[in-house]
Each structure stands twice: as structure tokens, then as C-alpha cells.
Chains A and B, each alone.
Chain A
Amino acid sequence: MGKVLMKGNEVIAESAVHAGCKYFFGYPITPQSELVAYMARRLPEVGGLFLQAESEIAAINMVYGASSTGARVMTSSSSPGFSLKQEGISYLVGSELPAVICNIVRGGPGLGNIQPAQSDYFQVTKGGGHGDYHIPVLAPASLQEIVELIQDAFDIADRYRNPVIIMGDGMLGQMMEPVEFTERPVSELPEKNWAATGTRGDGGPKIITSLELDADGLEKRNQHLQKKFAEMKEKEVRYETYKTEDADYIIVAFGTVARIAMNAMNKARQDGVKVGLIRPISLWPFPEKPFIETRDKVNMYISVEMSAGQMVEDVRLAVNGHAPVDFFGRNGGVVPTQEEIYHKIMMIAGGIQV
């Protein structure tokens, strides 16, 4: 269909429709309201259903219901609204229900503001809800990458019977870029013979629940979940590296910040400082391999984030003491500029005396 110019939020919605998402339950909140509005218009066109819930809590539980019938279903929100969904997300994992949940992060904590941020990193990667669980988190950096990752997200969710989170920021949601909705063959996925669609004399009732009162039984269920998480850690890692082969310094950044950092990296290279960049695409599972491959060769890693320093902890774990790890970030809705990041690199590389 060729390229179209769209807003990030709209691209997320259209990509979900392309991935076969038929149901959306949500509640508007800036800076992702365009996503909700787009779904309201678009889903009826494809025979789906959009429902604006009375709250985010209601929306995530509607997702639970729709997912229980085997349907592809999605919800989205931004930071404060996403916090409200945590109980429901924990229930989805406990009940082994697939769903895609989108968080277009804004400045926090609390009501904060509506400007771009990445300060929900801990919440999405370490489990914002209760219990021993993990959720694959994908962080696109461009609107074209959204198309690819939303399809991946629905496939991963179905394959493991687990929710998947898409994490963006207000900038990604609000910006426009050309995108092309590429069709790709449907992935081979296990049949949803667990879905509660009514018995037709073909077996016993299908029970979907996260409740297990017997301790040994619940431990067994947890072991089963942990096995799935281990498999995700092995198979669902995604990342990109740029110019890390000869790098003395490596910036680590994800989402839109990686693009800003890339400009700074290129400028520093022009000025003779060998800088590379690792861009985690899956924030969980966090990509360890590109760090293991580089950590005995580089002088330092610099984690650049729109937060007070959250991903930097995973960077330190991956580097595991083999090299120093520094941090540069802005938060509260302030976006780091390429000039600031460049300045940080040059200071570390000894190019600027302060």
C-alpha cells in the first residue's frame, strides 16, 4: 500500500489491527489518546469491538475476559493509567492469558506531566504487579519498527500464553514518520485449545484462573511459569548494535533516546572519539550478549535514559564488573539533547576539560 505519514500512536493501533487484534479496551490518557481514538474508529471496520471502559482497572479486566476466549486483544495507557493496570497484568500472567499492553510513558511519579519519559523502566521490566513473574517488553525506536514489533508482540503473547508490553514514550506516540504496513506470513502458533468458548461435549469444562489454594500446587504452577520465562530469556532477546566493533566507549540507549544518542555518537566519531551504541529492543529479556562480547574491550559504557537511572542497573549486571558504567539522564519530561549527550561523551573521553 506504499508509505503513509502517521502519528506513532496511530501506527501502534493500525499495526495491531494488521496483527489480527479484534478487541480493544481502554481509557484515554495523554500522550496516547490518539491510539484509543483510532481504535474506536477502526475496529468496527474490521468486525472488531472497541469499548471505552469506565477506568483502566475495568479495561485490563475486560482484556482478561476477551483473552480467555482466545481472541487477540489489546489495551494501552500512559504511566498513571498503566499503574492502575498492574493487578490485572499479574492476573493475566497467573492465568496464562496472552494480551498486548502498551505503555506510552510520561513524566512521573504521581500524576507528573504529559511529556516524554522512560521512568517506567523498573515497573515494566521488574514486574509492577505482585508475584514471581516476567513480561517480555519491546521498545521500538521508530514508527516503522512499531509495525514489526506489534506483530511480534502478539505472536510472543500467543506462543507463551503471557502478556507482552510495548513501551514507548510521549515523543514516539506524538511524532509522525513515513511507515509501510508490510504483510508477513502468519507465524505458526500453538492452537488455543485452552480457550473458554463453551463445551460441546468435547471434554470437561475449561477453567481459567490464577487461584490455587494448595501451596504445593501453586509452587508447581510457578515452576511451570519459570520454565516459560527461562525459554523467553533464551529465545526472545532483541537488540541492535552500531559501530561497536572498534568502540572505546559504548552508549546504551533504547527507544527514541537511542536515535538522539546516535546523532551524538556520529558527531563524536567525526571528532575522533570511537563511540558505539547498543540499543536494547527487548528490555526484558535484557540483551546480555552484546555486553559479554564487548565488555573486555571498551573503556566505559554510558547508559543514556529519560529517567534518573533505571536501565543502568541492568547494564551493570550485564557488564558484571568488567568495565566501568556511567550514566547520563534527564527526567520529569525533559528530553536529553544530542548536544548534552555529545558533551558527556567528550568529557568522559577527555576531549573537554572542565
Chain B
Amino acid sequence: MLEEIIIAGFGGQGVMSMGQLIAYAGMLEGKGVSWLPSYGPEQRGGTANCAVVVSDEPVGSPLVTKPTTAIVLNNPSFDKFESKVRSGGLFIVNSSLVTRTADRKDITNIEIKATDLANELGNSRVANMILLGAFLEYTKIVTMDSILESLKKVLGPDKYHLIEVNKQALEKGASLLMEKTI
């Protein structure tokens, strides 16, 4: 198993922490993992992305150029990464904010109105977790339990009260795929 994931969006949408959660969960399961952020003169509202590798073996290159999965949360990220997804790969789009339509036929396109659904849950900032829940349900590269365990580490004790809403969002994302409503 070798998953090479790119997660991209505006700074503040939680793309970096989504990647860290996957990497952390992979580590807890004894897998080889790496997390590499795009970094530069970034600012809140600018675009940001991270590359995550999860493998049964120690990770070779942490740099991902042809992802098996790309998760995009805004239009610039859609434009940048749609063509990069490996043939047969997965492309998850936050269609609340992305106005483009994915039309590649050789990859699996999943469109989720994640920001709208997050608002329904009462916290627009968990849109990332809805997308992550769908991604986990589709790929099953790490278990939901490992992600929840990682969430405690990534959030830290003073944000434990946010675990519940994050959990709801993860489950919401997963349920969308289980019910095949998308």
C-alpha cells in the first residue's frame, strides 16, 4: 500500500491539520508516514497545501508530484491539482466553494458541499473533517479510531471540547459515502 495524498485550500481551512491527522494516525498504526507542507511567504487567506505519504514500507520521497488522492478546498487548488491526480486516483472537491466541475473520466470524482454541511453542524471550520471522513471511508488507509486518537494529540488538551464536533463531521463525511448520496 502506498498512498500519496495532496490536500490543498486557503490558509485557515485546516488543510495542514488534515494532513497531520492522517500522518499521525498512520504512525499510530505502525505505517511509514511523512508530511510535507508547501511553505513560502504564506499568509492567512493565501493558498496552502501539504503532501502526505502513507505506506506499508518506510517512506521514500516525501515529495508528491502525482498524487493517488487530491483533496481540494478552493478554486485555485482545483485548478492546480486536477490534472496532477494519477490515473485511477481519487479527487475530492469541496463543492461549496469550488465552482468548477471535475470532468476527468479516468479518476474518481467526489464532490461534497463540505462548507454547507459544516454550517449545518454549527461550525463552518469542520468542513475539512467532513472531507477527511469521506476520504477515510473511501480509501480506508487508516481507521477512524486512529484518527480520533490523533485528534486529541493535534488539538491539545485546551481544545478537547472541539473533539465532539470534529467527530460528528468525520462521521458525516463517512456516511455520505456509505449512503452513496454523492
Name which of B60-68, B73-81, B90-98, B169-177 contacts chain A: B60-68
Is B24 close to A, CB under 8 A? yes
Neighbouring B residues of A114 by C-beta, 8 Å: 39-41
CB-contact partner of A259 in B24, B41, B60, under 8 A? B60
Chain A contact surface mostly: mixed
Interface contact B61-A262, CB-CB below 8 Å? yes
Interface contact A256-B23, CB-CB below 8 Å? no
Interface contact B61-A115, CB-CB below 8 Å? no
Q: A174-B36, A175-B35, A339-B66 are in contact. Are A259 and B61 (CB under 8 A)?
A: yes
Neighbouring B residues of A171 by C-beta, 8 Å: 36, 62-63
CB-contact partner of A177 in B41, B62, B65, under 8 A? B62
Is A176 close to B, CB under 8 A? yes
Interface contact A177-B61, CB-CB below 8 Å? no
Interface contact A337-B63, CB-CB below 8 Å? yes
CB-contact partner of B35 in A30, A31, A176, A259, under 8 A? A176
Interface contact B33-A177, CB-CB below 8 Å? yes
A residues 324-345 in Cβ contact with B at 8 Å: 335, 337-339
Interface contact B33-A178, CB-CB below 8 Å? yes
Interface contact A262-B63, CB-CB below 8 Å? no
- Write out, one digit per residue, whether chain B residues 43-75 have a CB within 8 A of any chain A CB (1) or not (0): 000000000000000011111011000000000
CA distance A3 to B36 in the complex (A): 18
Neighbouring A residues of B35 by C-beta, 8 Å: 5, 175-177
CA distance A5 to B41 in the complex (A): 24
CA distance A31 to B66 in the complex (A): 25
CA distance A30 to B40 in the complex (A): 9
CA distance A176 to B35 in the complex (A): 5
- Write out, one digit per residue, whether chain A residues 234-261 have a CB within 8 A of any chain B CB (1) or not (0): 0000000000000000000000100110
CA distance A331 to B118 in the complex (A): 42
Minimal beta-carbon separation of B29 from chain A (angstroms):
11
Is A170 close to B, CB under 8 A? yes
Is A69 close to B, CB under 8 A? no
Interface contact B34-A176, CB-CB below 8 Å? yes
CB-contact partner of B60 in A3, A262, A337, under 8 A? A262
Interface contact A338-B61, CB-CB below 8 Å? yes
Is B37 close to A, CB under 8 A? yes
Interface contact A176-B40, CB-CB below 8 Å? no
Interface contact B36-A175, CB-CB below 8 Å? yes
CB-CB nearest in chain A for B33: A178
Is B27 close to A, CB under 8 A? yes
Neighbouring B residues of A299 by C-beta, 8 Å: none
Interface contact B33-A174, CB-CB below 8 Å? no
Is A222 close to B, CB under 8 A? no
Interface contact A259-B20, CB-CB below 8 Å? no
Neighbouring B residues of A115 by C-beta, 8 Å: 40
CA distance A114 to B34 in the complex (A): 21
A to B CB contacts below 8 Å, 16 in the list: A5-B24, A5-B33, A113-B40, A171-B36, A176-B35, A176-B36, A177-B35, A177-B62, A256-B62, A260-B63, A263-B61, A337-B63, A337-B65, A338-B63, A339-B65, A339-B66
